[in-house]
Chains A and B, each alone.
Chain A
């Protein structure tokens, strides 16, 4: 994406920067462009709030996986099969 020298960026560009900002630092120019855009655009403000929320949820998901009780388990049959394969390999 090339927005150099532009004061007004589009929503597509703004959402790109909003996404990038959640992982990385924006350049000074990008920061100004985004701030300016967000002042005028309620949809992109929403997009930022909502995607930040999703990012937060996904980070939480990682910890959730380590918790017990999440209904994502192998069946007993799958485990039995796995045991057999391991036994064969371990012989």
Chain B
């Protein structure tokens, strides 16, 4: 089937879908809105390259995805994070070097259940926790976990080293876990 472009219907048909797509990956609503606008404008500009092999939405989503990655890259500062940097959750010295501090260690999540995954409130809390991550961590984390992009690609897109990527994933998980525990399993 050959698809056609119909820019007049874009806002009505796709603005919300694309906005949600962007908002799940970018922590600010005004930025997400701007990216949707850029996507539509880029779509009009490059409409001659649309071959009709995919649907309008798929095509526009691909453009938006590029825009999101470009945005991530702009924000991924050069400074590398290293594993050795101290983390307040772990003891600093002595016999128990780098072991969990009692008051920072994971608490038992008594009510953890798969039904939470269907719970709107839980998912909103998780989303808010992701928004609280430093932007660079969130982009790395979301590309790998949510978009299931492979590691090599993520490093290339964000211009970070592979070891830095793993440190970011680790730190992001530590922080997300803390946040979910504090906000949901309290």
Contact = CB atoms under 8 A, between A and B. Distances in A.
Nearest to B7: A90
Interface stretch (B48-56, B63-71, B72-80, B174-182): B174-182
Nearest to A10: B98
Interface string B145-175: 1111001000000000001001101100110
B106 A46 contact: yes
Interface string A3-22: 00000001111011001101
A10 B97 contact: yes
Interface string B111-122: 010001100001
B106 A43 contact: yes
A23 B116 CA distance: 23
A1 B11 CA distance: 48
A66 B61 CA distance: 12
Interface of B: 7-8, 10-12, 15-17, 19-21, 23-24, 33, 36-37, 40-41, 44-45, 83, 87, 89-90, 97-100, 105-109, 112, 116-117, 122-123, 126-127, 130, 142, 144-148, 151, 163, 166-167, 169-170, 173-174, 176-177, 180-181
A27 interface: no
A57 B117 contact: yes
A43 B105 CA distance: 6
A35 interface: no
Contacts of A86: 7, 10-11, 40-41, 44
Interface in A45-70: 46-47, 49-51, 53-62, 64-66, 70
A82 B36 contact: yes
